[in-house]
Amino acid sequence: MRQFKVAIVGAGMIGRLHARAFQAIESTFGDAGWRVELSVIADADEALTRDAQERWKIGRAVPSWRDVVEADDVDIAVVGLPNQDHRAAVEALVAAGKHVLCEKPLAPTVEAARSMLDAARRAGVVHGIGFNLRRAPAIAAIRQMLVDGAIGAPRHLSGHFFTDYAVSTAVPFTWRYQRSLAGSGALGDVGSHILDLARYLLGDIAAVTGATLATFIHERPVPAAHVTGHNIGPTTGQTGKVDTDDSGAFTCRFASGAIGDIRFSRVAPGHRGPAFDLIGSEGAISFDMRRPGEFGICSAPPGRDAVGSGFRRLAADPRFPYGSDLVAPIGFDYVDTYVAQAYEFLSAVAQQRQYEPGFEDGFAIAEVCETVQRLADSG
């Protein structure tokens, strides 16, 4: 049986989530005809790396992604580094023949995203971008229903990704709050997720027709030591100036002719994920990631229009991807989308086919995000 050797590049919040996901593939999906070995974990923080190595039984720990590039015991690299480090790491890894699953956003700029896409294509490796929300059972079911014409022609998507990780003014000043390093704030971090879902369901975005971005917490405390994720800890007593967005919104037009309004925030109390309403010519669909295995649908009865029909709740079932393997809607949560993502990426490598979403999708999202940023900057 073939065994894939996987390196986790980055031992922080996202890297740990990926390690947990790859370890759970076999227990979740059963015998796929191949197995996974977490062979390497790489991070400059030695204590963090050692902890992750022991927790997920990873073969060895190294201090840098450069060690992964040179490793002969790595087939696949999962890159969970800060945004500004994606390009250098990914381009070196693919040049070394490693298949790469990179966290979103692909890069802070369109130019960097384009370069990464070109490098992966030249190398002929499998490449993927971490838009894990495509793996929610309800999303798979909704996409199939759109293909089947369940709500007619899609006309309008209204979506948001609101979360609360930066609500507290005590959340420290890290790379996420510096535009020169992150590229953007909530736009790239969580807005990119709802953007990808919009593209996945309705196709390419042809134009961004209006945008606004806002920063509400203008200074944050400088941490006294390395910070994992959004953890609050000791500070230096100094503050750093935030120049990335906390919240934003934009309107757009899809190539199909449908329109969209997209909103996002990292300072939204009481929220932890995406939701959207999708309006069609003959019905509508409503989804909230807090219930990832089900959705609401309004559709016209035979021979009638949908006026007054109302919504009914549907649960994803074994007819749809992940409807049985992950026991949706019971027992399915956000982490399970990472398990399904890991399984699908490894399946693509095993079958020697391109994975979706790939770097092409990451590049397309980077183009939209850069347009939103430009429109917002121009006022």
Please give the pLDDT value at position 115. Answer: 99
Instruction: State how far the Cα of 369 lies from the Cα of 184, in Å rounded to an integer.
Output: 8
Using the predicted structure, report yes or no on whether residue 256 has a pLDDT greater than 70. Answer: yes
Please give the pLDDT value at position 325. Answer: 66
Report which of residues 8 and 232 the model is more confident about: 8
Instruction: State how far the Cα of 9 lies from the Cα of 61, in Å rounded to an integer.
Output: 10
Please give the pLDDT value at position 227. Answer: 84
Please give the pLDDT value at position 204. Answer: 98
Q: Could you tell me what percent of the chain has a pLDDT over 90?
A: 85
pLDDT tier at 306 (50, 70, 90 boundaries)?
low
Residues 135-175 pLDDT 10s: 999 999 999 999 999 999 999 999 999 999 999 999 999 99
pLDDT tier at 263 (50, 70, 90 boundaries)?
very high
Instruction: State how far the Cα of 9 lies from the Cα of 69, in Å rounded to an integer.
Output: 10
For the ranges 41-50, 200-209, 318-327, the lowest mean pLDDT is seen at 318-327
User: Residue 78 CB: number of other CB atoms within 10 A?
Assistant: 29
Please give the pLDDT value at position 303. Answer: 62
Please give the pLDDT value at position 197. Answer: 98
Using the predicted structure, report yes or no on whether residue 305 has a pLDDT greater than 90. Answer: no
Q: How many CA atoms lie within 13 A of 137 on its CB side?
A: 26
Residues 25-59 pLDDT 10s: 999 888 889 999 999 999 999 999 999 999 999 99
Please give the pLDDT value at position 330. Answer: 63
The total number of residues written for the chain in this structure: 379
Residue type present at position 60? R
User: Residue 2 CB: number of other CB atoms within 10 A?
Assistant: 11
Using the predicted structure, report yes or no on whether residue 18 has a pLDDT greater than 90. Answer: yes
CA separation, residue 114 to residues 148, 161, 173, 328 (Å): 34, 26, 29, 37
Using the predicted structure, report yes or no on whether residue 324 has a pLDDT greater than 80. Answer: no
Using the predicted structure, report yes or no on whether residue 315 has a pLDDT greater than 90. Answer: no
Using the predicted structure, report yes or no on whether residue 285 has a pLDDT greater than 70. Answer: yes
User: Residue 95 CB: number of other CB atoms within 10 A?
Assistant: 14
pLDDT tier at 1 (50, 70, 90 boundaries)?
confident
How remote is the C-alpha of 314 from its chain's centroid?
25
Q: What would the mean pLDDT of 261-272 be, rounded to a whole number?
A: 97
Token pair, residue 270, equals 């009481």
SS3 50: helix
One DSSP character per residue, 197-258 reads HHHHHH--EEEEEEEEEE-S--EEEEESS---TT----EEEEEEE--S-SEEEEEEEETTS-
Token pair, residue 37, equals 């070995």
Please give the pLDDT value at position 351. Answer: 97
- Can you list the domains of the chain with their CATH numbers? 2-132 (3.40.50.720), 137-291+293-332 (3.30.360.10)
Token pair, residue 245, equals 């967005």
Of the ranges 135-139, 328-332, 353-357, which is most confident? 353-357
For the ranges 85-94, 265-274, 290-299, 350-359, the lowest mean pLDDT is seen at 290-299
For the ranges 72-81, 129-138, 180-189, 303-312, the lowest mean pLDDT is seen at 303-312
